[in-house]
Amino acid sequence: MLHLTEQQIRNLIGPDEAFRAVREAFAALARNEVHQPPPIGLDLTDRRGEVHLKGAYVEGNPHFAFKVATGFYNNPEKGLPTGSGLVMVFDAWTGIPAAILQDNGYLTEIRTGAAGALSCDLLARKDAAVLGLVGAGSQARYQFRALTRIRSIERVHIWSPVEDEIPRFIEEMSAGSREMVPEFVPAGTPDEAVSRADIAITVTPSRTPLVSADALHTGLHITCVGSDQPGKQELDHTAFRRIDRIFADHIDQAANQGELQHAIAAGLLERSDVTGTLGQVAVALKEGRTSEEEITFCDLTGVGVQDSAIASLTVELAVEQGVGNRLEA
């Protein structure tokens, strides 16, 4: 069995590899080529912790995989990262364990960033150049890096529930070798960040709505990433009265644990009101944005096929490049 460390995985999988794997995963999902159980979630409320177990098999793939990802929100006070986890990869012909990917949550972070970038690329206006970020933590960094690889962003309005995260985010995201570093503008409220943006991304673990319906405006695309468990909510559910086209990574999952859950519970939406999935847009089974004036929305809850696809790619690249250690049974 192959064992890969986080650093080895980081050397193998970057934003470009993640974007390719995620796009292919959503395409396979849209073509009904994926066998995927419902996710398992575990809340450790007394520890401010949450656990996610997700996995899938894509027909024809040499592997299937399951990942365990954790988020413990008191960890920064202890000098530890918020997210961690690992991925278990199995041979799809025999069911024998093929690899343990000790990624410490890296693959979850980068595949989520790739999904956010894909949603914005498929659904935002082609001339969109102003980003509104609600959240400035670790996943916000992955969202920003992934998006700026495929879209030219000139300005970023950013708000965070933890105010001192904003200067750290700006300092880190201003560094590097990108040809163009956008202007960063701290926002006083989530609504301010969204109302001034062409593309908005919300990426917090909030359980109370942060963005109001009033912040949505003509031509906006908004992707919500943070709601991935029952009870989480970043967007006020009344905003769905103003949204023209609604998409999700997985409609049933979003209806149960994404932003859609609140609008459905309030009677503002039915599942049939959802325009389609991100994968259906990617393979042209559904049309994305149809005009420059529409408000489009994508609900990203994180699906197991993303984890399986990126894990399988990691193992394939590791074998090709002779990376990793072999563990004896």
DSSP assignment of 227-286 equals: --STT--SB-GGGGGT-SEEEESSHHHHHHHSTHHHHHHTTS--GGG--EEHHHHHTTSS
Cβ(179)–Cβ(149) below 8 Å: no
pTM of this structure: 0.94
For the chain, domain boundaries: 2-107+305-326, 114-303
Please return the burial class of 284, using the count of CB atoms within 10 Å of its CB with bins 0-12, 13-18 and 19+: exposed
pLDDT tens over the chain, length 329 residues: 999 999 999 999 999 999 999 999 999 999 999 999 999 989 999 999 999 999 999 999 999 999 999 999 899 899 998 889 999 999 999 999 999 999 999 999 999 999 999 999 999 999 999 999 999 999 999 999 999 999 999 999 999 999 899 999 999 999 865 567 899 999 999 999 999 999 999 999 999 999 999 999 999 999 999 998 899 999 999 999 999 999 999 999 999 999 999 999 999 999 999 999 999 999 999 999 999 999 999 999 999 999 999 999 999 999 999 999 998 86
Q: Give the CATH fold of the 114-303 domain.
A: Rossmann fold (3.40.50)
Could you give the residue numbers annotated as active site? 67
Cβ(204)–Cβ(234) below 8 Å: yes
CATH of range 2-107+305-326; options 3.30.1780.10, 3.40.50.10860, 2.30.42.10, 3.50.50.60: 3.30.1780.10
Cβ within 8 Å of residue 79, ≥6 positions away: none
Rounded-to-integer distance, Cα 125 and Cα 122, Å: 9
